[in-house]
Copies of this chain bind each other. A is one copy, B any other.
Amino acid sequence: MQGWLEIKAEVSRRINVREWPPGSLLPAETALANEFGCARATVNRALRELAEAGLLVRRRRAGTVVAEHPVRKASFDIPVIRLEVEQAGRRYAHRVLHRLHETPPASVRTLFGLVATARAIKLDTLHLADDMPYAWETRWINTKAVPDARQQDFEAVSANEWLVRNAPFSGGRYTVGARLAGAELSAALNCGSGEPLVVVERNTVDLDGLGITQVQLVYAPGHLLRGGI
């Protein structure tokens, strides 16, 4: 027993077999380092990772406690759509259907820090995989945060990809929901009206918290988001 990975596995095992049940206090790092015959830093690395994973709760002076209700962090990757499609072995293409410069709705104005009369770029894009509709994208781009976007038509490189590479990015939030295909969507995605569709809405902000872009992605029927714990 030496490496932090082995220690992490062993601590994880003891939690799972209820040797250290939920709510119980673990021995201090120094004691564990002593038991495992390694430096405290090694134990620290193992316990820190388990705490990040939600299995342990650590507090100075109070020590390390097994979480009562382990909050599992599920995660999925948000790749550039082109890569998502190509990784599935399909041919990617996209078509920009509208590129407008108009006043965004209030929620987007708030995110972008814009006054009521200000305008932003609005893009409607259809993403294709093997020439079949893959996803419908409605996007707002804040020209205040990304002035260079004015010169882009996003035909050759999609807005998705262009922004990832050209906008200083710091974080964002997203929601996942479901909606019905209306007239416009069923035509664009080549599906029946009234079909249930997965909708992902995502916004990203720069280092100052200023909104860069807001995207709504409506996937073709049957699409599943996949992730792991």
Q: A22-B165, A69-B164 are in contact. Are A194 and B197 (CB under 8 A)?
A: no
CA of A193 to CA of B173 in the docked complex: distance in angstroms? 31
Closest chain B residue to A195, Cβ basis: B180
Closest chain B residue to A21, Cβ basis: B165
Closest chain B residue to A175, Cβ basis: B224
CA of A204 to CA of B16 in the docked complex: distance in angstroms? 14
**A1 CB–B CB distance under 8 Å:** no
CA of A175 to CA of B225 in the docked complex: distance in angstroms? 5
Closest chain B residue to A171, Cβ basis: B229
Instruction: Please tell me if the beta carbons of A74 and B73 are within 8 angstroms of each other in the complex.
Output: no
Q: A69-B79, A69-B83 are in contact. Are A226 and B173 (CB under 8 A)?
A: yes
Min CB distance, A89 to chain B, in Å? 18
Taking CB atoms, residues of chain B closer than 8 Å to A88 are: none
Taking CB atoms, residues of chain B closer than 8 Å to A73 are: 75-78
**A227 CB–B CB distance under 8 Å:** yes
Min CB distance, A51 to chain B, in Å? 15
Taking CB atoms, residues of chain B closer than 8 Å to A174 are: 74, 226-229
CB within 8 Å of B: which A143-181 residues: 161, 164-165, 168-180
Instruction: Please tell me if the beta carbons of A168 and B229 are within 8 angstroms of each other in the complex.
Output: no
Instruction: Please tell me if the beta carbons of B78 and A72 are within 8 angstroms of each other in the complex.
Output: yes
CA of A175 to CA of B197 in the docked complex: distance in angstroms? 14
**A63 CB–B CB distance under 8 Å:** no
Instruction: Please tell me if the beta carbons of B224 and A198 are within 8 angstroms of each other in the complex.
Output: no
Closest chain B residue to A165, Cβ basis: B22
Closest chain B residue to A173, Cβ basis: B228
| 20 A–B contacts, CB within 8 A, in A order | A12-B170, A16-B168, A16-B170, A16-B207, A69-B79, A69-B80, A69-B83, A73-B75, A171-B228, A172-B229, A174-B227, A176-B224, A176-B225, A176-B227, A178-B179, A178-B197, A180-B194, A194-B194, A202-B229, A204-B229
Interface positions of A (Cβ within 8 A of B): 12-13, 16-17, 22, 54, 69-80, 83, 161, 164-165, 168-180, 194, 196-199, 202, 204, 206-207, 222-229
